[in-house]
Amino acid sequence: MEFYGTALASRLFLGTAQYPSPKVLCEAIEASGTEVITVSLRRETSDGAGTGFWQMLRQTGRRILPNTAGCHTVQEAVTTAQMARELFETDWIKLEVIGHADSLQPDVFALVEAARILSDDGFKVFPYTTEDLVVGEHLLQAGCEVLMPWGAPIGSGQGLRNSDGLRAMRAHFPNTPLVVDAGIGRPSDAAAAMELGLDAVLLNTAVAKAGDPIAMARAMAQAVIAGQTGYQAEPMPRRDMAVPSTPVLGLAELI
Amino acid sequence: MITIAGAGLAGLATAYELLQRGAEVTLFESGSAPGAASVARYAGGMLAPFCEGESAEEEVVTLGSRAFEWWAKITAVHRRGTLVVAPPRDRAELSRFARRTRGHQLVERAEIAELEPALSGRFATGLFFRDEAHLDPRRAIVDLAQMVETLGGQILYETPAPRQVDLNCTGMAAPLSALRPVRGEMAILHCQEVNIRRTLRLLHPRIPLYLVPRDDHHFMIGATMVESSSTRAPTLRAVNELLSAAFALHPAFGEASVVELGAGLRPAFADNLPRLVEQDGVLHLNGLYRHGFLLAPEMAHRAAAKLRPQSADIFAKERIG
């Protein structure tokens, strides 16, 4: 599976916000083995860009996926995306258009509109969306080639709230890269997402706010590999009865 | 004679330590008055090593241990502890904070009401850090400058430093490539109706906030942390978040006067810890980040020990050269 023509060995995307220090962040990036880091381009940082923090991120050598976190309107998101393209010299953009300040749910109507404007402008859009199939269709029609459904609300650490919905999404979009974005709290959540056959996991708070972010970054990387390998290995079906794993034949008859 | 560029927190603190060691000291300061050009004027002035341990390296907790006694010799230090509370929805943040810090005790309604009657009935649980303190940063800088002058130090205001000084303490103006700015925005409120005597921290997943009481019903409320070198006035978003948090602590803040809004750039290294760096024959004390008042005493002590070892002889300066 390629993401806009780019093959990625690591299926873990890592966010760069809220770490105790840039040093811890850089070590977590290293431990995660990630190839893609997301960067929140808050509008207020734009007039002071080019600071040490951006340089540190560039020096990690990872591909940067700027995001439009905190944008609530189409115009805001588009402007932020354009600034990000200039600042980070990339046409990749993680598109977030927030519809509700408290739950941070995406405003899917504005999202589709912004995705169309940005795709037409040559951006490679990674839209943060819900597991709604119809919205997914509209995003593809708008020019997106990747979908990023949420697992749970941003920063909530609840894991996959609707794994049936995500499974349906996989079935409905068999050839579109799907990245679970938001809601991952534990390594088991990341593994569960990959076991559903999704292509990657994007997370931030789960690592940044862990007691030991570096160890958690490593654990997430291992979980993503475990889940992905498990999916490819085709798990056995669930049964509602026990089935002995040792053969019954040849047991001694003690009479 | 030891020369220091910058009479902000780091420069003045090191001058004080040097004067204690019998050195002669001259400081060059671009501002017109003590602290006028220093980012320390936007600080909270908390001496809160244990709370800072939530997100900082253990070193901050240990380096900060000298701070109480040091500042008490110079300015008024209010050793009343820190009370950490969280809105009902963010109670989980309180457990996380408790796990990540030490030096606290769990307090419930009755104890919170006893500590801060104004918060009575507003929060079911909290954490009380008994051994923490706060001071008024602007007064502390003025008092420290006065102390330096009383001890014979010379502070030259509105005077550019010569090219070669012994110690550079100019914060973000220093020519250190590893230094980065972390923008912070704050507000000062005046509210006659609210009586709060100690530092409060309100835990919130998006913007952890603190409120530090100042004299005469004034309250400093801070602070955002943005990776930015912008010095423009605080954004509406930041002000909105700071002020709503104050309102969440106590609705009477709704009637407070917003006396001041400010923004400054904290100088920081990649690990957010301060350090002494020698570059082109100049010693730099920098990177105090958000721990200036807490860590300046120990860092100043170390800088002074480098510039003037206790057993100073006439060659001492050449050795560190």
Contact across the interface for B100 and A211, Cβ inside 8 Å: yes
Q: From CA A224, how far away is CA A204, in angstroms rounded?
A: 14
pLDDT in tens, B215-272: 999 999 998 888 888 889 999 989 998 998 898 889 999 999 999 999 999 999 999 9
Q: From CA B32, how far away is CA B253, in angstroms rounded?
A: 34
Give the gyration radius of chain B's Cα atoms.
20
Contact across the interface for B226 and A20, Cβ inside 8 Å: no
Contact across the interface for B230 and A20, Cβ inside 8 Å: no
At residue B78, the 3 state secondary structure works out as strand
| Nearest residue, CB atoms, A20 vs list B56, B179, B237 | B56
Contact across the interface for B227 and A53, Cβ inside 8 Å: yes
Which tokens go with A22? 């840039």
Helices assigned H by DSSP within chain A = 22-32, 52-59, 74-88, 108-120, 133-141, 163-172, 187-195, 205-208, 213-232
Q: From CA A57, how far away is CA A29, in angstroms rounded?
A: 10
Peptide bond into A226 cis (omega under 30): no
Q: How far is A56 from chain B (nearest CA, A)?
A: 9
Contact across the interface for B229 and A42, Cβ inside 8 Å: no
Q: From CA B245, how far away is CA A11, in angstroms rounded?
A: 38
At residue B251, the 3 state secondary structure works out as helix
Q: From CA B45, how far away is CA B40, in angstroms rounded?
A: 8
Q: From CA B133, how far away is CA B140, in angstroms rounded?
A: 13
Report the residue of chain A nearest B58, measured CA to CA.
A20
Which residues of B lie inside 8 Å of A (Cβ-Cβ)? Answer: 55-57, 96, 99-100, 178-181, 183, 205-206, 226-232, 235, 237-238, 270-273
Q: From CA A213, how far away is CA A234, in angstroms rounded?
A: 31
Are the beta carbons of A150 and A130 closer than 8 angstroms? yes
Report the residue of chain B nearest A208, measured CA to CA.
B55
Q: What is the pLDDT along chain A (255 residues), one digit of tens a residue?
A: 789 999 999 999 999 988 999 999 999 999 999 999 998 876 545 555 556 788 888 889 999 999 998 889 999 999 999 988 988 889 999 999 999 888 889 999 999 999 999 999 999 999 999 999 999 999 999 999 999 999 999 888 999 999 999 999 999 999 999 999 999 999 999 999 999 999 999 999 999 999 999 999 999 999 999 999 999 999 988 888 887 777 666 667 776
| Catalytic-residue membership of A124 | no
Test mutation, A42, A44, A158, chain B, max B CBs within 10 A: A44
Q: Which domains does chain B have, with CATH numbers?
A: 2-64+135-174+270-318 (3.50.50.60), 82-130+180-268 (3.30.9.10)
**Strands lying side by side in the sheet with A92-95:** A148-149, A124-129, A92-95, A63-67, A36-40, A12-15, A200-203, A179-181
pTM recorded for the entire structure: 0.83
Rounding to the nearest 10 degrees, give the CA dihedral for residues B49, B52, B55, B58.
0
**C-alpha distances in angstroms, B182 versus A216, B119, B206, B229, B268?**
25, 32, 17, 7, 7
